[in-house]
Every structure is written in structure tokens, then in C-alpha cells.
Amino acid sequence: MTGNPFDQIRIVLVNTTHPGNIGAAARALKNMGLSRLYLVAPKEFPADKAVWRSAGAVDVLDNAIVVETLDEAIADCALVVGTSARERRIPWPLVTPRECGDRVWSEAQSHRVAILFGREDRGLVNEELQKCQYHVHIPANPDYSSLNMAAAVQVICYEIRMSHLNELSGKPLQFNDWDQPPAPAQDLEFYYQHLEETLIELQFLSETNPRQTMTRLRRLFNRVRLDQMELSILRGMLTSIQNYIFYSKKRMEKEARQTPNT
Ligand code: SAH
């Protein structure tokens, strides 16, 4: 199954006592681009307090799905992650919030994912945590590690968003969106030869001992991904420099001829 990965991720709040926390969680979801909220047997919902705390995210509350049991909330999810404010007796595969964000984002490309948040007073019970493939713990102050439930939702949803943004920024430069085609390898080679020649004429490079300069310059230009227009501007600049050197030499030779030997 494919689709918008944001729609494949659901945040499940289990037995929430305070409706204000449900509203704050809805806001946290929407801020991070998520929208699927599931409420397992909430104590008080719908509630005005939830609407107030949701600020502009009433749509997330309106579309929240209320179910009686956790099993109903996660039935069609192929990955279930449970959040926990403390270490549990039986160790379970544990991920950091960042790893959780990456895993949830990547799996949401192909299937539905649920992240569970527990009750304000006692979190998720063991039976609920054992339905999860992974547990995630926000590494807060060890002496005071329990966050407000909606604040924990915010942290986890933020990491999902970061994973999404990292994926976007890690994508190679899209030349489809560029106004000029990229410079082909052969033109780059001609440019490097031209550059080396010019740098030697300028006596910036020594022909007999060029060292690593050209390698470093190649690396620099490869990082930049020159387009054809940029490359031809650079070639034009090199030609102007060469002309300048050529005519300067001629002028100096002429002046040397005109100056009588003393
Ligand atoms: N006294 C409870 C704390 C519940 S806090 C307990 O010890 O479990 C309510 C919910 O907020 C938790 O069930 C969890 O979903 C989330 N939460 C709070 N702090 C968290 C943390 N440090 N890491 C991950 N989730 C946390």
C-alpha cells in the first residue's frame, strides 16, 4: 500500500484522563504535519477543554477516531511503537526518539504505523507495551523523566518531521527544476585543462610541481555541480585572463625593445 506517508502514521492516546491533553496533542500533530488521532476510551471526549487547547487544530479533533480497545486502534498497523517514561522490568527493543522518527517515517512509505501514548498517571501497562515492536523513551532528566503526555507527543512528532525534512534535503540537486542543464563531463575536463593552463600562465601553479591544487579544485567544482551557463562564464573569464596576460607580455616586450640598453 502506498500513499501520503503522513496519512499512514497515527497517534494513539490510551485512556487519557484530561481532555486538555487531547487538545494539546491534536495541536502538536497538526504543527508537525500529522493528522490521524485515535483515542482509546478517553475519560471525557468530546470536551470544550480539548477544543480550547487544540487552538487551530480543531479539524484534527473533529476527525479523531474514538475506539473502545487498543486492539481496534492498531488492528491494521504493521508497526506499533510504544512510548515509555521509564525503564520497564522486561527489556524490549528500545529506540531513541530520533531512530523512532526515521523508522516510522521510512515504514510509513509502505504501511500503517501507530505510536502509543499512555495515561497521565500510569502510562501504558505491560500488556499494552507488549503489543509493540519497539519502545521509545525520551531521554529526559533522569530525576524527572516523565513529560506531560502532549509534550511527549510533540517531541515524537517533531522527530518524524525532521526525518521527513532530512530526506528532502538529502536528495540530490534536482536539475529538472534548474534553468540550465548540468555541465557534461567532457566540458568539465576542457574547463579543468583550461583552468590549469591559465593558472600556470599566471604562475600561480608550477608546471613541474602542481601538487594537489588541481585535485582540490576538481573536488570543489564537483561539489558545486556547475551548469552549462556557469561553465561557459568561467571559460570566458579564463580566456579574458589569458588575453590579458598575452597582451601584457607583448607590451612589456615592446617596452623592453624601445628602452635603449644602458
Ligand atoms: N507515571 C507514568 C508517566 C506517564 S506520562 C509512568 O511512569 O509511566 C504519560 C505518557 O506520556 C506516557 O505514557 C508516555 O506516553 C508519555 N511520556 C512521558 N514522558 C515520556 C518520556 N520521557 N519518554 C517517552 N514517553 C513519555
Q: CATH number of the domain that 68 lies in? A: 3.40.1280.10
Instruction: Note whether residue 175 is domain-resident.
Output: no
Domain boundary among 120, 135, 168: 168
Closest residue by CA, ligand 1 atom 3: 123
Residues with CB under 6 Å of ligand 1 are 83-86, 117-118, 120, 122-124, 137-138, 140, 145-147, 149, 152
Residue 82 is predicted with a pLDDT of 97
Q: How many A from CA of 255 to the centre of ligand 1?
A: 86
Instruction: Note whether residue 100 is domain-resident.
Output: yes
Q: Is residue 143 located within the same domain as residue 191?
A: no
Residue 65 is predicted with a pLDDT of 98
Q: Is residue 68 located within the same domain as residue 157?
A: yes
Residue 172 is predicted with a pLDDT of 60
Ligand 1 pocket: which of 83, 131, 132 to mutate (most atoms within 8 A of CB): 83
Which ligand 1 atom is the nearest neighbour of the CA of 146? Answer: 19
Instruction: Note whether residue 173 is domain-resident.
Output: no
Instruction: Note whether residue 174 is domain-resident.
Output: no
Instruction: Note whether residue 122 is domain-resident.
Output: yes
Q: Is residue 113 located within the same domain as residue 158?
A: yes
Q: Is residue 19 located within the same domain as residue 111?
A: yes
Q: Is residue 192 located within the same domain as residue 155?
A: no
Domain that holds residue 152: 5-168
Q: How many A from CA of 122 to the centre of ligand 1?
A: 8
Q: Is residue 227 located within the same domain as residue 109?
A: no
Q: Is residue 16 located within the same domain as residue 111?
A: yes
41-45, Cβ contacts within 8 angstroms, sequence gap of 24 or more? 41/14, 41/15, 41/67, 41/68, 41/69, 42/13, 42/15, 42/16, 42/66, 43/15, 43/16, 43/17, 43/18, 43/19, 44/17, 44/18, 44/19, 45/16, 45/19
- Coil, strand or helix: which one is 66? strand
The C-alpha cell at 180 is 540550465
Domain boundary among 168, 201, 236: 168
Instruction: Note whether residue 178 is domain-resident.
Output: no
Write out the chain's pLDDT in tens, 262 residues: 557 999 999 999 999 999 999 999 999 999 999 999 999 999 999 999 999 999 999 999 999 999 999 999 999 999 999 999 987 667 889 999 999 999 999 999 999 999 999 999 999 999 999 999 999 999 999 999 999 999 999 999 999 999 999 998 876 656 667 888 888 899 999 999 999 999 999 999 988 876 789 888 998 888 888 999 999 999 999 999 999 999 999 999 999 998 876 5
Q: Is residue 159 located within the same domain as residue 248?
A: no
Q: Is residue 20 located within the same domain as residue 122?
A: yes
Q: What is the pLDDT of residues 229-259, one digit of tens each?
A: 999 999 999 999 999 999 999 999 999 998 8
Q: Is residue 144 located within the same domain as residue 200?
A: no
Degrees (nearest 5) of the Cα angle 249, 251, 254?
110
Closest residue by CA, ligand 1 atom 21: 85
Residue 130 is predicted with a pLDDT of 92
Instruction: Note whether residue 177 is domain-resident.
Output: no
Instruction: Note whether residue 61 is domain-resident.
Output: yes
Q: CATH number of the domain that 195 lies in? A: 1.10.8.590
> In total, how many domains does the chain have?
2
In angstroms, the CA 13 to CA 205 distance is 67
The C-alpha cell at 261 is 640598453
Q: Is residue 33 located within the same domain as residue 139?
A: yes
- 167 beta partners: none
Q: What is the pLDDT of residues 66-88, one digit of tens each?
A: 999 999 999 999 999 999 998 76
Q: Is residue 199 located within the same domain as residue 93?
A: no
Residue 259 is predicted with a pLDDT of 80
CB 68 within 8 A of CB 110: no
- 134 beta partners: 81
